[in-house]
A and B are shown apart, each in its own frame.
Chain A
Amino acid sequence: MFDILRELIFTSGFVSLSGGNIIMWMISFVLLYLAIKKQYEPLLLLPIAFGILVVNLPLTFLMDPEHGLIWFFYHYGIELDIIPPLIFLGLGAMIDFGPLIANPKTLLLGAGAQAGLYVTFFAAVLFGFDLQEAGSIAIIGGADGPTTIYLTSKLAPHLLGATAVSAYAYMALVPIIQPPMMKLLTTDAERKIVMTKLRPVSKLQKICFPIVTAMTIMLVVPPAAPLISMLMLGNLFKESGVVERLTNAASNELMNVVTIFLGLSIGATMTAATFLSPKVLFIFFLGLFAFAISTGAGLLMAKFMNLFLKDKINPLIGAAGVSAVPMAARCVHKVGSEANRRNYLLMYAMGPNVAGVIGTVVAAAILLKNLG
């Protein structure tokens, strides 16, 4: 009787519990609180937080290679690069490239914001990260979750948890991080600029855009193929209007299913042993830096373009060049309407915002080509 009890205690997780595990529980509880109470990106943060919790319960072997349940999700979903492109398929089926087609100049704004990402690359190398790690940290500035995960899993898989969580955290914090940068880098008069109306975009143009874009980008930077091909296929589903069932499947069911596995696997990479190191704090700091600098680079790019344009653009929309869709566009709209309440920038900001998604993928592909 006593022996059985003693054996129960010694095979339980309590004996193997470490202080680090308990700190990770706390982190998981904080993330759960942020997801449930504050609703910061709950669709991802909730499964991530739960993943962190369960993987830090000892002796469960959930992440054991070839054995653990979550390891299989992680291996097939993320290590083999299946989930991020599938998320992009769903994203493509939801994005309206109309504002971008109506004003193709905004593609340059999507590129402008990516300049911040390379500045961060430089900064991360100065902080002592190796080149692969620096690339993974820099991409956080693109504020695109799936791209960050895709690139990190190829360049520096050991940082996956930290870069993914900071990318999603900063996406949720767009309304807090971006406005100070916007106010710092633009004048009141610039924020008041009302933009000229967008031209209407025909259905045929919307159908051609994903085809032309997929061909162009894949020919020029082939490593972008997995993400761009899925993004553009999803968009073609939507714009063709003939495969409504596939559009809905990609943007609802498939997207939701893979989001569960993505969140859980990302959370499960964060064991106490890998996550509790000073490096991770630096990653969060550099991620914030990346995000702020990318916002600034987008704003400056817009101001630079204004030097040459007859119809001035409101430089605020440059800040939407980071790809947090549609949080960044909403933020631009809000700051713009504070300066001039008859200024409705939402649709103008959606142009650079969706261009930012393309820009971040291109930037990631170039990093992959040079560092992979």
Chain B
Amino acid sequence: MPELIAPIAGNVWKVLVAVGDKVELDDELVILEALKMETPIYCDDAGTVTEIKVKEGDAVNEEDVLIVID
């Protein structure tokens, strides 16, 4: 099951999808905020969002799982 992991440490600024959404390759799923800069995280695989592990405002580390996609 593909997972979307955080490429950099930062805070979750916005989660742009909800559980059950269908997502395509290169969709913007999450926007992280690090050093006062918004960094969009793009989808690596097409599929359906089955679980969102973070909410807006959470602090995440590099390599943390953000979203699980089926």
A and B touch in the complex (CB under 8 A): yes
- Chain A interface (Cβ within 8 Å of chain B)? 326, 329-330, 333-334, 337, 341-342, 344, 346-347, 350
Q: Which one of A326, A341, A346 contacts B8 once the chains associate, using CB atoms below 8 Å? A: A346
Residues of B within 8 A of A329 (CB): 35
**Residue-wise interface mask of B (25-43) relative to A, using a CB-CB cutoff of 8 A (1 in contact, 0 not):** 0100000001111011010
Q: Tell me the bound Cα distance from A350 to B8 in angstroms.
A: 12
Residues of B within 8 A of A350 (CB): 35
Given known pairs A330-B35, A330-B37, A333-B37, the reply for A347 and B8 (CB within 8 Å) is yes
- Besides A330-B36, A342-B7, 17 new A-B residue pairs in contact (Cβ under 8 A), listed by A number: A330-B35, A333-B37, A333-B39, A334-B37, A337-B39, A341-B26, A341-B40, A341-B42, A342-B42, A344-B8, A344-B39, A346-B35, A346-B37, A346-B39, A347-B8, A347-B62, A350-B35
Task: Determine which residue in A333, A337, A346 has the highest number of CB atoms from chain B within 10 A of its CB, and name it.
Answer: A346
Beta-carbon contacts under 8 Å, B3-47 to A: 7-9, 26, 34-37, 39-40, 42
Residues of A within 8 A of B36 (CB): 330
Q: Tell me the bound Cα distance from A344 to B26 in angstroms.
A: 15
Give the number of chain B interface residues (Cβ < 8 Å): 12
Q: Which residue of A lies closest to B28 (CB)?
A: A341
Residues of A within 8 A of B7 (CB): 342, 344
Residues of A within 8 A of B40 (CB): 341
Residues of B within 8 A of A333 (CB): 37, 39
Task: Determine which residue in B7, B35, B36, B40 has the highest number of CB atoms from chain A within 10 A of its CB, and name it.
Answer: B35
Task: Determine which residue in B9, B34, B36 has the highest number of CB atoms from chain A within 10 A of its CB, and name it.
Answer: B34
A172 CB to closest chain B CB, in angstroms? Answer: 14
Residues of B within 8 A of A342 (CB): 7, 42
Q: Which residue of A lies closest to B34 (CB)?
A: A346
Q: Which residue of B lies closest to A344 (CB)?
A: B7
Contact in complex: A347, B37 (CB < 8 Å): no
Ordered by A's residue number, 10 sampled pairs between the chains whose C-beta atoms are within 8 Å are A330-B35, A330-B36, A333-B39, A341-B26, A342-B7, A342-B42, A344-B8, A346-B8, A346-B34, A346-B37
Q: Tell me the bound Cα distance from A344 to B62 in angstroms.
A: 11
Q: Tell me the bound Cα distance from A107 to B62 in angstroms.
A: 23
Q: Tell me the bound Cα distance from A337 to B40 in angstroms.
A: 10
Residues of A within 8 A of B39 (CB): 333, 337, 344, 346
A30 CB to closest chain B CB, in angstroms? Answer: 25
A193 CB to closest chain B CB, in angstroms? Answer: 15
B44 CB to closest chain A CB, in angstroms? Answer: 8
B13 CB to closest chain A CB, in angstroms? Answer: 14
Q: Tell me the bound Cα distance from A288 to B9 in angstroms.
A: 33
Q: Which residue of B lies closest to A341 (CB)?
A: B42
B33 CB to closest chain A CB, in angstroms? Answer: 11
Residues of A within 8 A of B42 (CB): 341-342
Residues of B within 8 A of A346 (CB): 8, 34-35, 37, 39
Q: Tell me the bound Cα distance from A344 to B33 in angstroms.
A: 12
Residues of B within 8 A of A330 (CB): 35-37
Residues of B within 8 A of A341 (CB): 26, 40, 42
Q: Tell me the bound Cα distance from A333 to B62 in angstroms.
A: 16
What 3 pairs across the A-B complex have the smallest Cβ distances?
Answer: A344-B7, A326-B35, A344-B8
Q: Tell me the bound Cα distance from A341 to B37 in angstroms.
A: 15
Residues of A within 8 A of B34 (CB): 346
Residues of A within 8 A of B62 (CB): 347
Q: Which residue of A lies closest to B62 (CB)?
A: A347
Residues of A within 8 A of B35 (CB): 326, 329-330, 346, 350
Residues of B within 8 A of A326 (CB): 35
Residues of A within 8 A of B9 (CB): 347
A28 CB to closest chain B CB, in angstroms? Answer: 28
B35 CB to closest chain A CB, in angstroms? Answer: 5
Q: Tell me the bound Cα distance from A333 to B35 in angstroms.
A: 11
Q: Which residue of B lies closest to A194 (CB)?
A: B7
Q: Tell me the bound Cα distance from A333 to B26 in angstroms.
A: 18
Q: Which residue of B lies closest to A348 (CB)?
A: B8
